[in-house]
Structure 1
Amino acid sequence: MMTISRLILSGLIFGALVLPGVAPAQPVIGNADAGQKTFEARCATCHALEPGRAKKKGPHMQGIFGRTAGTQKGFRYSKTMRQSALVWDAYTLDNYLYDPPHTMKGTSMVLKTPEPKDRADLIAYLKTL
């Protein structure tokens, strides 16, 4: 059981670690229409939107949310991707799209999307598929 003095000390330490006046980061709300344009300009070279389209270097994007990374048939994934057990959702996609080679060592996807708004727009678009 924590004594009152330890509880107060814990609160002071926690309070000292939080920067006063700085709001926590808010998620960026994406625009699916803008995301479609971004996808067409940056992603469509390697990724189809749905299965059965022309063979591309990367997997199709239909149904990506909830899919386990590295499991789509017909694509050569890095060992790291295959063994990651990562399930794609808005959070994991945002992290991956920011810097794929850093996030997933050995990935063949090297195109980074550093702008939070671009990533949010892409994710909003992918949710519509």
Structure 2
Amino acid sequence: MNLNAVVVDDCDIARQLIQASLAEVGFTCVAEYECPARALDDLTNQCIATDIIITDFMMPAMDGLEFCSSVRRLPFYQGVPVVMISTRKNDDLLRRALAAGASDCLKKPFSLEELETRLQLCMQNARQPDQ
């Protein structure tokens, strides 16, 4: 599997960890952002070719929910899975993330096995035609 990913997280260390984890499971990080607004601008203006978008939930100015719902309004990315990552994972966060258009949620810290399994499922679900 050689797939592309965009990573959005306001923490440098978290972005580095996510990128290294993605590389371990066969993804190449084609763009990484500290600021979700800048990521949204680039996604809007450059149409970055990516197979998946990974975003943190808690970020200043624009949180992961707002970022995800904004990405879902961009025609080029409507079928691209968006995975939200957070230090918190509860039913309310999961419900809100899915309502914003997230494909799945992961709790930090995550194992490589969980990351790989969740990303594979997101990719499989994204490839299936709407019924």
Q: Same fold (TM over 0.5)?
A: no
Higher relative contact order, structure no. (Cα contacts within 8 Å, ≥ 6 residues apart): 1
Which one has the largest radius of gyration?
1
TM-score, normalization by structure 1:
0.32
Higher strand proportion (structure 1 or 2): 2
